[in-house]
Amino acid sequence: MKKFILIIAFGLISTGAFAQAPLEEGGVQLNAGVGASGWGVPVYFGLDYGIAKDWTLGGQISFQTDNDPYHYGNSSYHYNSTAIGIGGNGNYHFNRILNMPSKFDFYAGAALTYYFWNYNDYNDYPHPDHDALGLGLQVGGRYFFTDKFGINLELGGGSATSGAKFGVTFKL
């Protein structure tokens, strides 16, 4: 956590030039962070690739775990679940049509993710959100402190990791 805070502080006091957002055609950026969802705290790592003006395709790997109590009859149980998600996404970046400053990046798109579930409970019932395939929509934004470093926030729905994600972005 200390390293994360140092990275954010370094970005805030940095005096480098601002990045040209969104990602240019042929450009690559890495994203990493944590999230909030209906269950568990997802951790994610992703990559975006600029395929055309204002358009990106990306991939992401996520991991989350949850241990929820539930009651049935006179007994108490726990869902002890883990999900690993591997997926892809496509986004349209609105900077050009909204005439936004280059230090910002505002986007929206869709994602398709396959989830590998591992669950344990007394009766071996799966977690209620145990769908293997997630199709979701997202809207998000980035703020770049320098040419290569920024923070990101994304809101999404329609998948097992629905909720919000917050992290860092590094342009390669």
Q: Is 63 helix (H, G, I), strand (E, B) or coil?
A: strand
2-89+97-171 CATH, one of 3.40.630.30, 1.10.3720.10, 2.40.160.20, 3.40.50.300: 2.40.160.20
pLDDT given at position 139: 97
β pairing state of 43-52 and 149-157? unpaired
| Count of other CB atoms within 10 angstroms of residue 58 | 22
What residues does 157 pair with on adjacent strands? 137
Phi, psi of 2 (to 5 degrees): -60, -40
pLDDT given at position 79: 67
pLDDT along the chain (172 residues), means of 10: 48 43 89 86 94 96 82 73 90 94 94 85 56 88 96 84 88 94
pLDDT given at position 51: 96
pLDDT given at position 67: 74
Burial of 17 (0-12, 13-18, 19+ CB in 10 A): exposed
Residue type, 80: N
pLDDT given at position 78: 67
CA atoms within a 13 Å half-sphere pointing along the CA-CB vector of 164? 5
pLDDT given at position 16: 38
